[in-house]
Amino acid sequence: MTEADTQNSKEDELSVEELMILAAGQSSRSLPFLETKVGNFVDEVDAALTDFVGRPVTTELEGSETLTIGDALSRLDESGTYLMSFSKEWDGELLIWCETDLLGQLVDTLLGTDSQKEAGPDRTFTRLEARIIRQLGGRVLAQFGSALSEVRELEFDVTGLEEPSTESHEWGAEKDCFVINLLISKEEVSGKMVLVLPFSTFAVDHEKLASEPEAPPEDRTETWRTEMSETLAHSGVKLKAVLGSTHVPLSNALSWREGSTLRLRSGSSAEVQVLCGDHSVFKAVPGRRTSGALALRITSDVELERIAE
């Protein structure tokens, strides 16, 4: 049976809705939402790998793109190790390819055997080392799943260190896939890591991953400050002028009647305190306008902060 026959047989088993989702996943190659989440994923991989190996590890994004699976796999050579993974929620496979020398260095760091292993792409791994590599791949994919938590809660199981079968329906050479290219560095050692995600794997969420990401909420802090400043600028404040003060015996105060005279210590041209509430905001000299109305001429700095209080 040819690959086309196998594909047709599998698609015959799908419902109309599933076929529509699959067709959408194969028709649109642009994935704006997924591309924005790649940045979040890369930011978290640093911490995950550093925590795993116990030494500082940095991750840089060298780019992400949509390719045919054939083109993507042709770029991966024998200098790397393949890690196949499966997502139950997506019901599909995902591939991690990583330079073997880098994987060896990370494993040696974890095991404390840095100086006991020869670096190189031809290195083979023991069963213990292969198990550690699968765990390392699981840490990376856990961060990928976390970055896509808005879409679906995803878990990935690294099934083995093997190349994908290009004879399978999912890994057909002409089908599309999304590729994430990373540069992983530990101290003076660095190497490439590549994630290959077939479109058919995430077909159920293709519409969301191909959508335009929502714009971040507008930061209204500056707008709020401007609006508050304008509101305060147009609000009124109550001022009162204190002409003077004096002390009198209580017996004198009790004898005051209409027409009594209260003698202040200050003269008519002395400065007076102008208050806003209980705060003195400036000094002024009293006088009269040509109309005869009382007026004050400010003679000191105005303490606006006190008015604002």
CA angle 207, 208, 213 (to 5 degrees): 130
**Quick one: pLDDT band at residue 170, thresholds 50, 70, 90?**
confident
CB contact set of 13 (below 8 Å; sequence gap of 6+) = none
Give yes or no for residue 224 having a pLDDT over 90: no
List own/partner pairs for 103-111 with CB under 8 A and 24 or more apart. 103/133, 103/136, 103/191, 105/186, 105/189, 105/191, 106/49, 106/52, 106/53, 106/57, 106/136, 106/186, 107/132, 107/133, 107/136, 109/53, 109/54, 109/55, 109/186, 110/52, 110/53, 110/54
Give the percent of the chain with pLDDT over 90.
44
The number of angstroms, rounded, from the C-alpha of 61 to the middle of its chain's C-alpha atoms is 16
Residue ranges per structural domain of the chain:
7-209, 236-248+264-309
Residue 308 in this model has a pLDDT that exceeds 80: no
Among 250, 249, 252, 246, residue whose Cα is nearest residue 264: 246
Indicate the average pLDDT of the chain. Answer: 82
Q: Which CATH number fits domain 7-209: 3.40.50.10860, 3.40.1550.10, 3.40.50.300, 3.40.50.2300?
A: 3.40.1550.10
Place of tokens 């393949």: 82
**Residue 175 and residue 255: Cα distance in Å, rounded?**
106
Mean pLDDT to the nearest integer, 134-147: 95
What is the pLDDT confidence band of residue 267, given thresholds at 50, 70 and 90? low
Position 298 confidence tier, pLDDT thresholds 50, 70, 90:
confident
